[in-house]
Structure formats: structure tokens, C-alpha cells
Amino acid sequence: MVFAAPMALRYSIDERHCCAGCSIGLYLSKIIQKALISATVNMNKNIHVVIMAGGTGTRFWPYSRNNKPKQFLDVLGTGRTLLQMTFDRFKETVPSENIWVVSNEIYKDLLAEQLPELPSENILLEPSKRNTAPCIAYAAYKIKEKDPNGVMVILPSDHVIFKEAAFVEVIGQAVDHADDERLFTIGIEPHRPETGYGYIQFEESDEEIKKVKTFTEKPELELAEKFIASGDFVWNAGIFVWSVTAIINAFETYQPELAETFEEGSGIYYTPDEPKFIKSAYSLSKSNSIDYAIMEKSDSVYVVLGDFGWSDLGSWNALHEIKTKDENENVIEGNVITYDSKDNYILSETNRVIVAQGLEGYLVADFEDVLLICKKEDSGIFRRFVTDVKMEKGEKFI
């Protein structure tokens, strides 16, 4: 099987910036297209792509709302949502019956609307939020019933990848090494001491696949600077590759109760009784991330290093970084006039004109029923905003 950079949605950008502010520059020359198409990786295994799409996008409020979080939005102005862009990344090389989306059941209609090519049985609907461990267990045990020898590529629905060919190569390396024991994660070569990402430390080796030593969640700046200086740390992209056998063995070893819960679905998956079973399974499952549940416990975790123009779009500040800016480093969208202002993200989706003077490092986001003005770098405060607005002003604003 040939796994190639898809024809749809390829972008011409440098490592740090894209032209997202002007519809991300969908024009791409035939020369660049041919170069990307030629960058293929030969994959002779049965690939199953699992897209995790259950997040609520709190840090993108008020653009991202509970009824339509950021993965269902055209954040970059390409005409395709983040979920659709993730699907497009694989659709030309992985058959649609091997692409799976796991999301909350309240987004059932949005999923069907945005991914009409996807078979209904490939949309895995979660009855409640339980983080990524139950999500991945659900997908693994269902895929096992269909293809016990399959290899899973698992990734979030709302990340952006600008160097498609490089991404394909990295995934190909992991898939080529997949076996019955090892678990692979993708590490992004860091460009700065970022405090908003998790870090993976690896053992020094000349091999392209490196054994993982430690995982560290979002460090303080001083520690992040030490990580960068050491040369043996990479950003944790939250992208995984492993065989169905390897991940199920890991669940049985490190999360036996969770494994037993989803193993009981054997014979029920792909039947009308599946939703009822999953509701029961999720009620028995604790909320836990795959990192805490499996990756930090296993001694068979390896990292593949990559640099493919990746962003997790985890905040307004991250979006500001990749958008087209004016001469003062402002991202401006909508009817906006600025004076003596720099390094801001100002957008309006209303008919109002925004006039800003003397602002530096601010987010001004004007939507129909919410106007938000805050420092754009303080992404951690958005959960407080959402909680307080919900309590004091009502859920309709969330």
C-alpha cells in the first residue's frame, strides 16, 4: 500500500507561518504538488486511522462553543474544518472503512454532515467524557473484531500539519516498526522553550526510532529551557502508532479493568446493541488519559522524531502565531482599525467596527453575543472565563 501526501489541501508555507489570514493560500503550484506527491512511504500493513474528536475547545471560546467546538470550525479559512482537514490527510491512501472518528454523541449530526464519506459504523459515539484512554480502548477493541492484525494511527482532530510529506514519512517510519509489543509516539523537534506542551525525553541512539525515558507535562519556563538545551527532549504531539495487538496487550497489563470492560463487547460491536453496551462500558470506566494510563507505565514506548510544521492550535496565541500578520504583528479579521497597536489578535464576526488604540498583546474577539477582551498569551484563564460566564450569565453563552 502506498501512503502519500493527499492531493487535497496542501499548503505552501515556511516552518513558522502560513497565509491563513487570507484563506491560507489554497493555490499551490504544480511543481510543489508533484514534489509532495513523490514523497511517498511504502506501507504494506493494514492501517486504521483513529481521529479523536471529542474535545470542547474551551481555550478557543467564544469562537468555539459547546454546540460546535473548534474541530468542527473552519478556523484557518480554507473552506474545510479542522476535522475535515484531518480526514483529508488520509482519505486518498487509507480506505474510508479504515478511518474512524471517536466523538461525543451530541456531535452525531455534525459528524455525519462534515464527513458524509465515512460509514456510520466508523463513527464511535461516546455517551460521556472519559478522556483518551477509554476513547482509544473503544476504538482498539472494535477494530480488533474486524482486523486483529491491524495497525492503528491515532491523532487529534484539531491539530494542523503544514508539511504533509514530512508527516507522512514520520508516520511511515512508525508503521514500519509496529509489532506486537512496542508503542510509538510522535515527538516534534522543539523550536523554542514552550510551556504549553508536554515533553518527551528519549535515550540517545543512532537509530531513527528512540526509546522513551520520561514524559513531562507542561513545564515551567526555566525547566523548558533546560529541556531544549539538553537536546534529548521533544514536544509531545499526542499522535500514536501501534498494532492492535500491542495496545490491547498494554491495556490488559496496565489497565486490566478497562480491558475487561471493553473486551466484553466482543460479539456486540457492529450490532444494534453496541450503543447500549458502550453506555454501560463508559459508566464503568474512569476518566484517564492514555499518557497516564499506558504510556508512562510501559517500558516499551518509543518515539519517532519529526518536524512537519505542526501546531496543536491549543490557544488563540497559537493561532496568532501561524496567521498572516500586518507590519505591527497584528492579526486582523473583520472591520477593524488600529492605532499604535502591536502583537494583537483582533477579529469581529459582527457588523460592528472595532477601533483599537494602544493595545499590545491582546485578544479582542467580537461575536454575536460575546465580546472578549484579554491578554492573548494567558490561555490558562479561559477555563475560568467559561466557568464564570456559565454560572453568572447562563449556559447559552458557552
Please give the C-alpha separations between residue 231 and each of 187, 205, 211, 293, in angstroms, as whole numbers: 13, 12, 15, 27
Return all residues near 271 (Cβ < 8 A) that are at least 6 apart: none
Q: Taking 80 as the threshold, does the pLDDT of residue 3 lie above it?
A: no
Q: Taking 80 as the threshold, does the pLDDT of residue 29 lie above it?
A: no
- What is the mean pLDDT of the segment spanning 293-314? 94
Q: Taking 50 as the threshold, does the pLDDT of residue 301 lie above it?
A: yes
pLDDT digits (tens, 9 = 90+) for 172-223: 999 999 999 999 999 999 988 988 889 999 998 888 899 999 999 988 989 9
What does 226-244 look like in DSSP terms, one character per residue? HHHHHS-EEEEEEEEEEEH
What does 142-187 look like in DSSP terms, one character per residue? HHHHH-TT-EEEEEESS-EES-HHHHHHHHHHHHHH--SS-EEEEE
Predicted pLDDT at 23: 44
Predicted pLDDT at 244: 98
Question: pTM, whole model, 2 decimals?
Answer: 0.87
- What is the mean pLDDT of the segment spanning 373-391? 89
Predicted pLDDT at 15: 41
The Cα–Cα gap between 77 and 81 comes to: 8
Q: Which is higher by pLDDT, 239 or 45?
A: 239
Alpha helices in the chain (DSSP H): 30-38, 82-91, 108-114, 132-146, 164-177, 221-230, 244-254, 256-263, 274-284, 290, 316-322, 382-393
Q: What share of the chain is helix, strand, coil (3-state, %, to 5)?
A: 35, 25, 40
- What is the mean pLDDT of the segment spanning 377-398? 90
Q: Taking 80 as the threshold, does the pLDDT of residue 24 lie above it?
A: no
pLDDT category of residue 169 using cuts at 50, 70 and 90: very high
In order of their start, the domains of the chain are: 2-311 (3.90.550.10), 325-397 (no CATH)
The pLDDT mean for the chain works out to 89
pLDDT category of residue 314 using cuts at 50, 70 and 90: confident
Q: Taking 60 as the threshold, does the pLDDT of residue 25 lie above it?
A: no
Alpha helices in 274-381 (DSSP H): 274-284, 290, 316-322
Predicted pLDDT at 202: 96
pLDDT digits (tens, 9 = 90+) for 332-370: 999 999 999 999 999 999 999 999 999 999 999 999 899
pLDDT digits (tens, 9 = 90+) for 120-132: 999 999 999 999 9
pLDDT category of residue 45 using cuts at 50, 70 and 90: low
pLDDT category of residue 235 using cuts at 50, 70 and 90: very high
- What is the mean pLDDT of the segment spanning 258-286? 98
Nearest to 16 by CA among 310, 393, 312: 310
Q: Taking 80 as the threshold, does the pLDDT of residue 22 lie above it?
A: no
Predicted pLDDT at 92: 85
**Number of Cβ within a 10 Å radius of residue 282:** 19
pLDDT digits (tens, 9 = 90+) for 155-167: 999 999 999 889 9
Radius of gyration in angstroms for the set of CA atoms belonging to the chain, rounded to a whole number: 21
Q: Taking 80 as the threshold, does the pLDDT of residue 44 lie above it?
A: no
- What is the mean pLDDT of the segment spanning 284-303? 97
Strands 345-348 and 362-366: parallel
